[in-house]
Amino acid sequence: MSHHDERTFVMAKPDAVQRGLIGEIIQRLEERGLKLVGAKFMQIDEELAHEHYGEHEGKPFFEGLVEFITSGPVMAMVWEGADATRQVRQMMGETDPADAQPGTIRGDLGLDLGHNVIHGSDHEDEGANEREIDLFFDDEELVDYERADAVWVY
Ligand code: RTP
Ligand code: MG
């Protein structure tokens, strides 16, 4: 990991899994030159959902959000690259797919606010990436390696 690289937490949400979009999401991040360093296909339980979305506890959409994120398996991932958290958020697009630009993951693949196919750590919330990585992954589940195209990788 070179000095300007960072790691960020990304998840293909249950709607992406159900709709067969895991590969598409991974492909976009991979082609952009970000490096996959961890991945886990898993089911989120109630407790993990509450921890992960703790910032939204008490909001009117919270219970629905927990119900959705625990409704089926997700693909939890860690991606690495320069400014990775912000890069992924840019590639994701706005939270509501109706507002997301064409060319973004949500703009191209998302259906509605509750079914927006991807989660990425908030780049405006300092340390959110590391908190979320720790919540979902043990250190030994993250892999250090060089991509063959390392010179051009983002
Ligand atoms: P995420 O955390 O899932 O990556 O999405 P985000 O940062 O773009 O949006 P955030 O504000 O963190 O909201 C988390 C998820 O809650 C749902 N939501 N519903 N009904 C509503 O007003 C509302 N607002 C947010 C969305 O599914 C959003 O992804
Ligand atoms: Mg968020």
What pLDDT was estimated at residue 2?
61
- 88 vs 32, 45, 58, 67, CA distance in Å? 10, 25, 27, 25
Q: Average per-residue pLDDT in the chain?
A: 96
Going from the C-alpha of 93 to that of each of 41, 110, 113, 120, the distances in angstroms are 23, 10, 12, 10
Is any atom of ligand 1 closer than 6 Å to the C-beta of 13?
A: no
Dig out the tokens for 59 from the structure.
């909001």
Ligand 1 atom with least separation from CA of 94: 8
Go through the domains of the chain in sequence order and give each one's CATH number: 5-141 (3.30.70.141)
Distance separating alpha carbons of residues 40 and 68, to the nearest angstrom: 18
Give tens-digit pLDDT for 3-25.
579 999 999 999 999 999 999 99
Query: Confidence band (pLDDT; 50, 70, 90) for 151?
Result: confident
Helix (H) or strand (E) holding 28: helix 22-31
Please tell me the distance between residue 81's alpha carbon and the centre of ligand 2 in angstroms: 20
Question: How far does residue 130's CA lie from ligand 2's centre (Å)?
Answer: 14
Which residue in 71, 11, 5, 4 sits closest to 40, CA to CA? Answer: 11
Instruction: Look at residue 149 and tell me whether its pLDDT is greater than 90.
Output: no
In this structure, are residues 98 and 119 in contact, taking their beta carbons and an 8 Å threshold? no
* Residue 1 pLDDT level (bands cut at 50, 70, 90): low
First-last CA distance in the chain: 12
The ipTM value here is 0.96
Clarify whether 123 is annotated catalytic: no
Q: What is the pLDDT of residues 131-144, one digit of tens each?
A: 999 999 999 999 99
pLDDT in tens, 89-104: 999 999 999 999 999 9
> Which is the closest atom of ligand 1 to the Cα of 120?
4
Contact partners, residue 19, CB within 8 Å, separation at least 6:
117
Average pLDDT of the segment spanning 53-82: 97
Average pLDDT over residues 37-66: 97
Helix (H) or strand (E) segment spanning residue 9: strand 5-12
> Hey, what amino acid is at 86?
R
